[in-house]
């Protein structure tokens, strides 16, 4: 005699696992997914789209973006031109460089040192306007005060700072990214002054440090660490291709944090709002608090980080950004010379979710409004990520598959009913015995759309009844098999709206559908 069984899955927050065999995945992991994300309780949700941010068409694809918070201005590099905008309708050219090489930018309040010899104003400082500091691999250093774009002179005569990465740390501006392993530091609170002083503790002049403990490879990226080590010293992280170092003193003292992890480009590092520093290298995505050795976070995605999956010749164009409590990384797949894959990563929960909406550069223009903007790869547009239901008018194709469940220890079962807890409409496929086909297909919700409005909608075009936000939908007679898996699919250009906060507040835009639980009711047929 067989017996009735049931199992209920309500947590899908394991994200993508591309490494392990389908039968070895955890209950909350997926072997295959695209263009979905996850909420804080583990529900799987179709992601929002990418909406064009700029009015009209730009002169070319965006190479780099930077938001200067002190002036609420977005700076955009297109080819050799650096432009600025405050409304994404009017773009003003700030400067044209001699080459199209990528620049680095940093925001720094300008404070002029006024030394005196007597009285209470000894070593006084006078505040000036906010400055945008810009570094170019060929043209060198510049500052921009909103009016004048000025070259910085009187620096290290032998090897003046040239590169594409800048960071502001401990009141100094730090520069690197050239063909050497050298890092330069400006005078204290004065990014216009980089003249090399006679001593490393001379804060009124610049210094330089050669990061050569492991190798002589060039520095690729600078980033300020969020953590503090056991002696209470903050740190500035220095990334090479296969190593990470931490400068812990303004005189340039540093320590090596890793001799294997590294960043693959000047935009491959970001700091999550929770304080973790996340970066991508050739072997995967790493996370650190700025003090401890970086830990590989993407171990379950190891098959992705291979030359037959990613274009390693163009990996230097990887870019990272943050959106709410998640971070994102865009990268080029094998066969593509532009970024065409984005990994969304939750550094606290640990899941990864891939999507086809990629960027060339990320910046957050309004942290309170969660506006993450990006350059559209290969297109003359700036896009706002996670807005709308389409990717600039193109419908989004998404799917998510569960792990393969063995509900009765590999004994054949009859799957009588699947109860789906969710919202929105999508296709559901039930597969058995590790089949690679589409399986049995059902439309969810099983009764059609559940948004019939009295005196507006017509009979037989939707389910008769009140509008609902979530539902419980049942499908029956799912077939026989030893193992079972579920796949969700949808192609569409729409999004949904969550209930208003407190009944009368603003309603948030959410993905077109979500699934919060799957309950199988089945019948074990015996020991066959």
Instruction: Look up the CATH number of the domain holding residue 470.
Output: 2.60.120
Q: How many domains does the chain have?
A: 1
**pLDDT of 119 over the 90 cut:** no
Contacts of 500 (CB under 8 A, 6+ apart): 506, 507
pLDDT at 460: 55
Q: Mean of the pLDDT values across residues 422-434?
A: 95
Half-sphere exposure of 25 (CA within 13 A, CB side): 26
pLDDT at 448: 44
Q: Mean of the pLDDT values across residues 282-286?
A: 97
Q: Mean of the pLDDT values across residues 8-26?
A: 94
pLDDT at 366: 78
- Give residue-wise pLDDT tens across range 364-395: 997 667 799 999 999 999 999 999 999 999 99
**Residue 482 counted as domain residue:** yes
**Residue 197 counted as domain residue:** no
Cβ atoms 446, 474 nearer than 8 A: yes
Q: Mean of the pLDDT values across residues 284-303?
A: 96
Where are the strands (E) in 137-233, listed by range? 140-144, 149-151, 165-169, 172-176, 182-185, 207-210, 221-228
**Residue 472 counted as domain residue:** yes
Q: Mean of the pLDDT values across residues 310-328?
A: 96
The candidate with the shortest Cα–Cα distance to 201, out of 252, 237, 235, is 252
Tell me the DSSP string of 265-321.
STT-EEE-TTS-EEEEETTEEEEE-SSSPPEE--GGGGGGSSTTTB-GGGGGG-EEE
**Residue 369 counted as domain residue:** no
Q: What is the pLDDT of the chain when averaged over all its residues?
A: 90
Q: Mean of the pLDDT values across residues 417-421?
A: 96
Q: Mean of the pLDDT values across residues 175-200?
A: 88
What share of the chain in percent tops pLDDT 70?
88
pLDDT at 195: 85
- Structural domain of residue 471, as residue ranges? 3-48+399-524
Q: Mean of the pLDDT values across residues 450-455?
A: 53
Cβ atoms 75, 66 nearer than 8 A: yes
- Give residue-wise pLDDT tens across range 131-181: 999 999 999 999 999 999 999 976 665 567 899 999 999 999 999 998 889
**pLDDT of 91 over the 50 cut:** yes
pLDDT at 1: 47
**Residue 191 counted as domain residue:** no
pLDDT band at 459 (very low <50, low <70, confident <90, very high): low
Which of the 8 DSSP states describes residue 499?
P
**pLDDT of 318 over the 90 cut:** yes
**Residue 506 counted as domain residue:** yes
pLDDT at 197: 80
Give 327 or 161, the one with higher predicted confidence. 327
pLDDT at 128: 65
**Residue 7 counted as domain residue:** yes
What share of the chain in percent tops pLDDT 90?
74
**Residue 421 counted as domain residue:** yes
- Give residue-wise pLDDT tens across range 196-215: 887 877 888 889 999 999 89
């Amino acid at each position: 005699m067989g017996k009735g069984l049931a199992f209920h899955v309500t947590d899908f927050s394991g994200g993508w696992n591309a490494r392990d065999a389908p039968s070895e995945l955890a209950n909350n992991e997926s072997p295959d997914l695209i263009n979905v994300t996850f909420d804080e309780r583990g529900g799987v949700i179709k992601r929002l789209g990418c909406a064009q941010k700029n009015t009209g068409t730009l002169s070319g694809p965006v190479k780099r973006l930077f938001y200067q918070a002190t002036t609420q201005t977005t700076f955009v590099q297109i080819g050799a031109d650096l432009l600025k905008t405050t409304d994404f309708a009017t773009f003003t050219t700030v400067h044209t460089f001699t080459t199209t090489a990528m620049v680095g930018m940093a925001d720094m309040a300008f404070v002029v040192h006024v030394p005196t010899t007597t009285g209470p104003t000894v070593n006084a400082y006078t505040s000036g306007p906010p400055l945008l500091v810009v570094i170019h691999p060929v043209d060198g250093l510049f500052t921009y005060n909103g009016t004048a774009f000025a070259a910085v002179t009187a620096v290290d005569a032998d090897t003046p700072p040239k590169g594409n990465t800048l960071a502001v740390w401990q009141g100094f501006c730090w520069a690197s990214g050239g063909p050497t392993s050298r890092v330069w530091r400006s005078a204290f609170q004065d990014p216009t002054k980089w003249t090399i002083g006679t001593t490393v503790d001379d804060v009124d002049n610049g210094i330089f440090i050669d990061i050569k403990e492991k190798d002589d490879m060039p520095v690729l990226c600078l980033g300020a660490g969020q953590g503090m080590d056991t002696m209470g010293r903050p740190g500035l992280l220095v990334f090479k291709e296969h190593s990470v170092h931490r400068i812990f003193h303004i005189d340039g003292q540093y320590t090596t944090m890793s001799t294997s992890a590294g960043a693959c480009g000047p935009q491959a590092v970001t700091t999550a709002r929770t304080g973790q520093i996340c970066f991508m290298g050739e072997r995967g995505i790493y996370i650190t608090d700025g003090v401890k050795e970086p830990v590989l976070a993407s171990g379950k995605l190891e098959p992705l980080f291979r030359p037959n999956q990613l274009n390693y010749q163009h990996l230097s164009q990887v870019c990272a950004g943050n959106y709410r409590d998640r971070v994102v990384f865009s990268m080029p797949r094998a066969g593509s010379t532009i970024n065409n894959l984005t990994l969304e990563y939750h550094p606290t929960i640990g899941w990864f979710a891939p999507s086809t909406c990629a960027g060339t550069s990320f910046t957050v223009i309004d942290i309170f409004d969660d506006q993450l903007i990006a350059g559209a790869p290969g297109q003359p547009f700036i896009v706002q990520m996670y807005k709308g239901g389409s990717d600039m008018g193109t419908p989004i194709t998404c799917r998510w598959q569960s792990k393969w469940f063995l509900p009765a220890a590999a004994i054949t079962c009859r799957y009588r009913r699947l109860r789906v807890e969710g919202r929105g409409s999508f296709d559901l496929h039930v597969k058995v015995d590790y089949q690679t086909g589409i399986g049995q297909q059902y439309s969810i919700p099983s009764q059609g759309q559940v948004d019939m409005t009295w005196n507006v909608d017509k009979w037989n075009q939707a389910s008769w009844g009140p509008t609902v936000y979530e539902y419980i939908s049942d499908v029956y007679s799912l077939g026989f098999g030893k193992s079972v898996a579920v796949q969700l699919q949808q192609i569409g250009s729409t999004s949904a709206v969550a209930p208003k906060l407190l009944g009368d507040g603003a309603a948030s835009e959410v993905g077109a559908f979500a699934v919060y639980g799957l309950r199988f009711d089945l019948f074990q047929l015996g020991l066959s």
